[in-house]
Chains A and B, each alone.
Chain A
Amino acid sequence: MLERLRNVFSLLGRKGVEDAIKELQRALILADVDIKMVKELTDSLRKDIQEELKKHPGIPPTEIAKYAIYNHIINLLDVGRPLKISPQTIMLVGINGSGKTTTAVKLAFWFKNRGIKSYVMSLDTERPAAKEQLKQLAEKGGIEYTEEVRNDGVTIIDTPGRTAADEKLLEELRHLKMDIMPDRTFLVIPADMGRLAGEEARKFQDSIGIDGIIITKMDGSAKGGGALVASKEANIPVYFIGTGEKLQDFEPFDVEKYVKRLLGVPDIKTIQEMVPQETKIPERFDINTFHEQLMQMRGAGPLNKILSALGMNVPVDVLEGMEEKMKRYDAIYKSMTKEERANPDIINESRIRRIARGSGTSEADVRQFLRDYKRAEKLFKRLKKGKIRGLPRL
């Protein structure tokens, strides 16, 4: 079966676009992506491929198809923002046996390992010994069980299994939520969930409100396509995946990995080949390149184009409030010495002070500039290595 998924991409060379789309459909169906969504996806994919073909007559259609398939899937997933590592209350909800109780302790354990005091609390009085299960797991992880929400750390709240089908019980859960007022509510979905995933997510979203998804049991052979549908239906990102029964079998969601698992590893040589001619990736990257790209980005310059052509979400922080920032950044750039621009690592505290004074900005602005530069540099390196999201390296 896995071989078949891998074939999605290798087939392209031999049999053409339509066959590749058929294989893609089968791969998605085998991953439990809903058939309606599969159809929508492939319809718009066909359109995309046609348009791209017109735009880039030089690139072989099969290459265009590969590129479009990958971007399409990636774009469906809302990446979301990383979870804040600070005291908060998180409630877990979901269908019976999805993994809520186990995940509650995993999540608490995750926070604990990041230096935050964490607690778990059970509101499940239905499943026999649910509280006992939570307590036993908590003890294993050195996590305190609590009977009420704590302010001095993270409290993870476990709830009884609920399904979209039972509106009365969902309503009850909504009241529970109103009493507790958690900062976030996550829907726990097993990787092997079938046709109900989308509907469950939508109904949970409508009736109680959910902020994110955690996919469990990703260690099995199931591909978790239901989570893709759920994420789209409820318009919320996936935050974590569970990969086993132990408390440490838990990791932040990684879109690249997920899509690779969904489709198999694409047979794409290098990123450069995919990028249209006029948007060449610069040879090296320093503050000069960063500045140049930033300035060009104001008029949708090459970097921005490359990133969006790759289906990448440019990190929100880099683009947010860009216009005002841009002026400040321009001034900061101009206050730097040649040496500093070529070799930003030498910029120490006293240089930061000097640059801030010289550019009429604050030291915090200069530090932010440097952080953004670092981030862009990282992106650039990944781009060079072809490791960018959407077009993974072989």
Chain B
Amino acid sequence: MKLIGKILEKLRGKKSIEELEMDLLEAHVHPDVIDLLKKAEDPISFIKERLRAAPLEGRIIMLVGINGSGKTTTAVKLAHYFINKGYRTAIAASDTFRAGSIEQLEEWNKRVPFILFKKGYGADPASVAYEAVHSDAEKIIIDTAGRQDTRKDLIEELKKIKRVSGADKTIMVVDATQGVSVLEQVKQFQEHVPIDGFIVAKYDIDSKGGVPLTVGVYTGLPIFFVGIGQNPDGLEPFDPDKYVKELI
């Protein structure tokens, strides 16, 4: 984390809070987060404190999020990343709901040699995860079905998957092209399944949007990676410094 802050340091004092506010509003940063910044003595160092990257550790990693945010693609990217590091890696196809979700992973499996655990549509997502966890895989990624923040019942179901799998990390995959509503989504998920951080997918489509700042500053949780493109190697560490520079 050595570089972080150099550019931010330069920004300090350059922009008035009003100018800063306009930039942030244009990026669709949530107004509640802007209010937090306004209250901070020094907004830039406040951002620096809260918005951070971190390495992803742990054996069992569960991905959650709303529909279409990029969970499955991210699961494959993570598998590719761990396999390259020499880990025996498995993906649990715990999205047993969305049409074509299992075939999507099967297709990927032709290109990326992860171990695929699947049970078919309608199967209990937790039992798929359970099998993967009790295999000899060194890294297990659990892909879950997307759900909206208004569906408390569905979010509640994630609890069981988490409990049964004993996930070390629960990561919310958010979409970089989203607007301010991402905050409400994060709050709702967090209320039911405590999350440990984020991966921001589709960062290649928008690297100047308000999503990383909104979720990072509000929760103080790390952003483990950003998703770049649709290929398995499209995962990069998050660079808060560069991001904030482009944002404001």
Contacts and interface: CB of A to CB of B under 8 A. Distances in A.
Interface in B3-38: 22, 25-28, 30-31
Interface in B181-222: 181-182, 184-185, 188, 202, 204-206, 208-211
Contacts of A196: 177, 205-206, 209
Interface in B133-192: 148-151, 175, 177-182, 184-185, 188
Contacts of A140: 99
B68 interface: yes
A137 B68 CA distance: 16
B180 A194 contact: yes
Interface of B: 22, 25-28, 30-31, 66-70, 97-101, 103-108, 148-151, 175, 177-182, 184-185, 188, 202, 204-206, 208-211, 230
A99 B68 CA distance: 7
Interface in A221-241: 221-223, 225-226
A129 B178 contact: no
A126 interface: yes
Pairs of residues from A and B, 4 with the lowest C-beta to C-beta distance, nearest first = A133-B100, A194-B179, A97-B68, A128-B107
Interface of A: 1, 26, 29-30, 32, 34-36, 95-99, 101, 126-130, 132-134, 136-137, 140, 163, 165, 190-197, 217, 219-223, 225-226, 245
Contacts of A137: 99-100
Contacts of B180: 29-30, 32, 194
Contact of B27 (A36, A98, A165, A195): A195
Contact of B177 (A128, A194, A219): A194
Contacts of A220: 66, 148-150, 181, 185
Nearest to A130: B100
11 contacts: A34-B26, A35-B26, A95-B205, A133-B98, A133-B103, A165-B204, A194-B28, A194-B206, A195-B210, A217-B66, A217-B67
Contact of B179 (A101, A128, A132, A192): A192
B140 to A, nearest CB: 21
Contacts of B188: 221
Given A129-B104, A165-B205, A245-B67, 9 more contacts: A30-B31, A95-B177, A96-B205, A192-B66, A193-B179, A195-B206, A217-B67, A221-B150, A221-B181
Contact of A193 (B27, B99, B105, B177): B177
Contact of A129 (B22, B67, B100, B179): B100
Nearest to A97: B68
Contacts, number: 131
Contact of B25 (A35, A127, A223): A35
B172 to A, nearest CB: 14
Interface of B is mostly: loop
A127 B68 contact: no
Interface of A is mostly: loop
Contacts of A190: 68
Contacts of B66: 192, 217, 220
A193 B178 contact: yes
B181 A98 contact: no
B123 to A, nearest CB: 15
A136 B177 contact: no
A190 B99 CA distance: 19
Nearest to A164: B205
A30 B210 CA distance: 13
Contacts of A165: 204-206
B153 to A, nearest CB: 13
A126 B108 CA distance: 11
Nearest to A137: B99
A192 B25 contact: no
Contacts of B104: 127-129, 132-133
Nearest to A29: B31
A219 B148 contact: yes
Given A30-B31, A225-B179, A195 B26 contact: yes
Contacts of A32: 28, 179-181
A196 B208 CA distance: 10
A226 to B, nearest CB: 6
A69 B205 CA distance: 34
Contacts of B107: 128-129
A196 B68 CA distance: 17
Contacts of B28: 32, 194-195
Contacts of A225: 179
Contacts of A98: 68
A97 B184 contact: no
A107 to B, nearest CB: 16
A379 B104 CA distance: 50
Nearest to B181: A222
B150 A226 contact: no
Q: Which of B25, B151, B209 has the most CB of A within 10 A?
A: B25
